[in-house]
Structure 1
Amino acid sequence: MAQQLMTPAQVADEYGIAAQTLANYRWQGIGPAYVKKTPGRSGRVVYRRAAIEAWLDAQTVQTGGAAA
């Protein structure tokens, strides 16, 4: 089964993370893994849905228990 690829706009619509925020995260190297479909600075970028989900899981903070 092929993994679903999403544009930054689709990620923004579905997950509420602005496309510009995703671009900033790519530049800073802190965001979800992405695929660059064309070379160069203005190359087309897509995200695998699984990569977005995994990144969100990694950002999840558990409350309760020991003090932060």
Structure 2
Amino acid sequence: MDSIDPLWSVEDVADYLRVPVKTLYQWKWLGEGPPVRKIGRHLRYDPTKVRAWVAEEAA
């Protein structure tokens, strides 16, 4: 069976990017930042897409 990374919470991404949680909510509202999906009432991030977004922003 394939190993799948668990999705990251807003807090996980904030820790990874070293930004405040509030910044991630602002980015989502502005349509910026790493790709995010809403699952139920929770925001979740795919770690692979977050890392790709960081690499793209750094280029």
- Which TM class, normalised by the smaller chain length? 0.7 to 0.9
CA RMSD of aligned residues (A): 1.3
In 2, the alpha carbon distance for the partners of 1:14 and 1:58 equals: 16
The higher-RCO structure (CA 8 Å, 6+ apart) is 2
Extract unaligned runs of 5+ from structure 2.
Answer: none
Using the TM superposition, give the Cα deviation of residue 27 of structure 1 relative to its aligned residue in structure 2, in angstroms. Answer: 0.5
Identical pairs, percent: 25
Aligned residue in 2 for 1:47? 45
Of Structure 1 and Structure 2, the greater helix share is in: 2
Shift >6 Å, 4+ stretches = none
* Map of 1:65 onto structure 2: none
Q: Which residue of 1 aligns with 2:30?
A: 28
TM-score (norm 2): 0.82
Q: Aligned residues, how many?
A: 57
Structure 1: gaps of 5 or more residues: 62-68
